[in-house]
């Protein structure tokens, strides 16, 4: 047809006349003539851009094979193409067949969430669930590290920082745990985790085999200490020198826990950011929680510890909780039981257990007031 257009054009006719004779659009005729004038041909010209991944011949072979046997898999097709020396990726084959309307013939990957999963997830999210004795508000919490050595904070904070930018740390502890490997008087690794994590102390950490994965991920301004009462001179120097915000037991006694928590939140939460709460059980007084490695008298009362956890929970920004240094091998059965109970109390409060009581959001079945002669129903 294109050659026909050109033949008529060469005989001296204009494009309007040609379009009338052949019954074609004028623009089509004009385009054919332009192309011929420019390139001297009417055939399809090679296009610019990425070359096709699969040759027309191989494409025809694919379609032929699938039409012949609709149950053939993309892997088998790949092998068949390899036999004619065409090597293409599995996804190219599937994409090509999809473009030809044949994708429905291939087994698809199962959905990651079945309808049942989705339904369960929807009904459970952000709801208050009934627990045998208490209502617990399920807050979004990503991770919880329990009962181990405080040096695990190196890993938990590093990992947390990798998944979330901008985190801040509330470090509740009798000790600052900020000795560097060179300043530590005891050599205990659980007295050093913070020094590995602070960017400001990076140059003070010697290169040690096996520790190279640790990258400093928080700044001195991203951490607040609460409950300090047993610091080495080196630790005190570092805290003063870097200007780290800390509330020792003196500040706690002077200001009270509510004011301390208010100041902590004001200081850290000038913007929206996740909180990492690293709670060492030795922050609680050893008369209450004795089963721990380095007890120190004069610690937080249980109510102060719970208030602290509640205050952090109320921000809605708690993202990771470490509750560490509960050691069931230390102390008698009663001491271990009391330590574990207090630790569980702190965890519950961090997760949203409210001492003042709570009820589920869908608790609207109506309050019935029974009087001998009538039943009032208040649907609120
Ligand atoms: Mn500690």
pLDDT in tens, 186-241: 877 788 899 999 999 888 888 777 777 888 999 999 999 999 999 999 999 999 99
pLDDT of residue 218: 93
C-alpha–C-alpha distance, residues 98 and 78, integer Å: 15
C-alpha–C-alpha distance, residues 341 and 96, integer Å: 62
pLDDT grade for 12, boundaries at 50, 70 and 90: confident
Which residues share a beta bridge with 172? 226, 279
Does residue 236 have an active-site annotation?
Answer: no
**Average pLDDT value for residue range 112-136:** 45
Closest among 34, 284, 221 to 26, alpha carbons compared: 34
CA angle 324, 327, 328 (to 5 degrees): 135
Spacing, Cα 177 to ligand 1 middle (Å): 6
By the 10 Å C-beta count (0-12 exposed, 13-18 middle, 19+ buried), 242 is classed as: middle
| pLDDT, averaged across the chain | 81
* pLDDT higher than 60, residue 377: no
Joined tokens for residue 203: 């140059």
Can you tell me whether residue 321 is helix, strand or coil? strand
Does residue 222 have an active-site annotation?
Answer: no
222, 230, 280, 285: the active-site residue: 280
* pLDDT higher than 70, residue 315: yes
* pLDDT higher than 90, residue 75: no
Does residue 69 have an active-site annotation?
Answer: no
C-alpha–C-alpha distance, residues 63 and 77, integer Å: 10
pLDDT of residue 115: 65
pLDDT grade for 128, boundaries at 50, 70 and 90: very low
pLDDT grade for 112, boundaries at 50, 70 and 90: very low
pLDDT grade for 105, boundaries at 50, 70 and 90: very low
* pLDDT higher than 60, residue 3: yes
Spacing, Cα 188 to ligand 1 middle (Å): 11
pLDDT of residue 204: 85
* pLDDT higher than 80, residue 365: no
C-alpha–C-alpha distance, residues 342 and 359, integer Å: 24
**Average pLDDT value for residue range 46-70:** 82
160, 175, 310, 322: the active-site residue: 175
Highest mean pLDDT among 36-40, 242-246, 320-324, 325-329: 242-246
By the 10 Å C-beta count (0-12 exposed, 13-18 middle, 19+ buried), 184 is classed as: middle
Highest mean pLDDT among 78-82, 305-309, 327-331: 305-309
CA angle 196, 200, 201 (to 5 degrees): 40
222, 235, 282, 285: the active-site residue: 282
Spacing, Cα 370 to ligand 1 middle (Å): 55
Spacing, Cα 130 to ligand 1 middle (Å): 34
pLDDT of residue 254: 95
Spacing, Cα 190 to ligand 1 middle (Å): 6
Closest among 240, 265, 360, 363 to 315, alpha carbons compared: 265
pLDDT of residue 327: 84
Share of residues in the chain with pLDDT > 70 (%): 82
């Amino acid at each position: 047809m294109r050659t026909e257009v050109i033949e008529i054009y060469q005989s001296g006719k204009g494009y309007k006349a040609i379009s009338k004779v052949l019954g074609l659009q004028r623009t089509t005729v004009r385009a054919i003539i332009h192309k011929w004038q420019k390139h001297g041909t009417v055939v399809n010209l090679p296009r610019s851009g990425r070359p096709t991944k699969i040759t027309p011949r191989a494409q025809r072979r694919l379609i032929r094979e699938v039409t012949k046997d609709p149950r053939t898999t993309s892997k088998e097709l790949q092998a068949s193409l390899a036999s004619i020396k065409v090597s293409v990726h599995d996804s190219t084959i599937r994409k090509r067949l999809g473009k030809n309307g044949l994708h429905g013939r291939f087994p698809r990957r199962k959905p990651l969430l079945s309808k049942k999963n989705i339904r369960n997830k929807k009904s459970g999210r952000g709801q208050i669930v009934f627990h045998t004795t208490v209502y617990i508000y399920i807050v979004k919490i990503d991770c919880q590290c329990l009962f181990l050595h405080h040096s695990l904070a190196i890993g938990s904070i590093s990992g947390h920082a990798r998944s979330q930018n901008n985190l801040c740390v509330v470090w509740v502890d009798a000790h600052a745990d900020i000795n560097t490997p060179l300043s530590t008087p005891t050599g205990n690794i659980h007295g050093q985790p913070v020094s590995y994590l602070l960017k400001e102390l990076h140059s003070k950490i010697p290169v040690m085999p096996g520790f190279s994965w640790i990258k400093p991920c928080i700044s001195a301004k991203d951490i607040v200490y609460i409950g300090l009462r047993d610091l080495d001179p080196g630790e005190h120097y570092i805290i003063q020198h870097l200007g780290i915000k800390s509330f020792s037991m003196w500040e706690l006694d002077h200001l009270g826990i509510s004011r301390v928590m208010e100041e902590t939140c004001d200081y850290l939460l000038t913007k929206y950011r996740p909180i990492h709460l690293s709670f060492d059980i030795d922050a609680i007084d050893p008369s209450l929680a004795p089963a721990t490695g380095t007890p120190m008298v004069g610690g937080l009362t249980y109510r102060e510890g719970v208030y602290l956890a509640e205050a952090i929970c109320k921000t809605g920004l708690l993202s990771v909780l470490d509750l560490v240094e509960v050691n069931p091998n230390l102390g008698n059965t009663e001491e271990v039981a009391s330590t574990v109970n207090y630790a569980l109390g702190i965890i519950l409060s961090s997760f949203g257990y409210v001492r003042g009581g709570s009820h589920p959001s869908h608790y609207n079945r109506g309050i019935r007031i029974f009087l001998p002669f009538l039943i009032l129903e208040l649907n609120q």
